[in-house]
């Protein structure tokens, strides 16, 4: 299981400090939520973990190795991203599952569908016409196909209707319960309480509170 360490990490853009000297640890085998008001820097920080962006200052380590010394493509296989909206890039579900894993067998693909809560008949479906929740779970299966050590979850249910959001969240909770490391961005304190073990609270790019979710005031203020 993989551990991230952040040491005085900052992100500056056009003279504005978006992330301000954040020092934190993402514990292996746990789900850590990045929370805070809009504009706090949550998504910016999330994008640093698989080098969609790079920090302006400070150091990020994965299992003790600086991220900027790792091959980007290999890093992104180890650290998979699930975004807010399902983005399907092929025409059929089998093709979609093999985007990053071309040698995936039929049995392995069917196992992935089962893992994300989709029935076997989805294996023969075109990607066009999938519902938002179905598409998001196919995207999740596609990410899992390459065997990531860490999942980055950027508001993974925010674009879904309530029924689909509940189904996707339940799927993710099942995966996280299996010991997968995850970093979650969510505006929903209730979702954070359901899914996350730890929380980092950002405000204006600064880390202002952290710890196990049950003890983090920001997450529990509306409980």
Q: Give the CA diameter of the chain.
A: 52
Q: Which two tokens stand for residue 109?
A: 């693909």
Residues in the chain: 223
User: Which residues, 6 or more positions from 175, have their beta carbon under 8 angstroms from its beta carbon?
Assistant: 115, 116, 140, 144, 151, 182
pLDDT in tens, 36-71: 999 999 999 999 999 999 999 999 999 999 999 999
| pLDDT on residue 67 | 96
User: Residue 223: its pLDDT value, please?
Assistant: 54
> Which CATH number applies to 4-220: 3.30.160.270, 3.40.50.300, 3.40.640.10, 1.10.260.40?
3.40.50.300
What is the Cα–Cα distance from 123 to 119, expressed in whole angstroms? Answer: 8
* Rounded CA separation 23/35 (Å): 15
CB 74 within 8 A of CB 50: no
Domain range summary for the chain, segments of one domain joined by +:
4-220
pLDDT tens, position by position, 160-195: 889 989 988 998 998 887 778 999 999 999 999 999
Chain segment 108-162, per-residue pLDDT in tens: 999 999 999 999 999 999 999 999 999 999 999 999 999 999 999 999 998 888 9
């Amino acid at each position: 299981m993989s551990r991230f360490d952040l040491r005085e990490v900052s992100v500056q853009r056009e003279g504005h400090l978006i992330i301000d000297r954040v020092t934190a640890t993402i514990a292996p085998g746990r789900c850590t939520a990045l929370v805070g008001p809009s504009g706090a820097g949550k998504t910016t920080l999330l994008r640093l973990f698989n080098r969609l962006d790079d920090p302006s200052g400070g150091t990020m380590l994965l299992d003790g190795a600086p991220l900027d010394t790792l091959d980007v493509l290999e890093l992104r296989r180890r650290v998979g991203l699930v975004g807010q909206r399902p983005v399907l890039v092929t025409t059929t579900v089998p093709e979609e599952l093999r985007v990053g894993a071309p040698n995936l067998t039929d049995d392995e693909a069917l196992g992935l569908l089962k893992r994300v809560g989709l029935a076997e008949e989805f294996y023969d479906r075109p990607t066009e016409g999938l519902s938002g929740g179905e598409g998001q779970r196919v995207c999740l299966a596609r990410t899992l196909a390459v065997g990531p050590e860490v999942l980055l979850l950027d508001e993974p249910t925010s674009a879904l209707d309530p029924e689909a959001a509940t189904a996707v969240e339940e799927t993710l909770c099942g995966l996280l319960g299996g010991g997968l490391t995850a970093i979650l961005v969510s505006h929903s304190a209730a979702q954070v309480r359901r899914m996350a073990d730890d929380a980092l609270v950002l405000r204006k790019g600064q880390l202002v509170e952290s710890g196990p979710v049950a003890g983090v005031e920001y997450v529990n203020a509306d409980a």
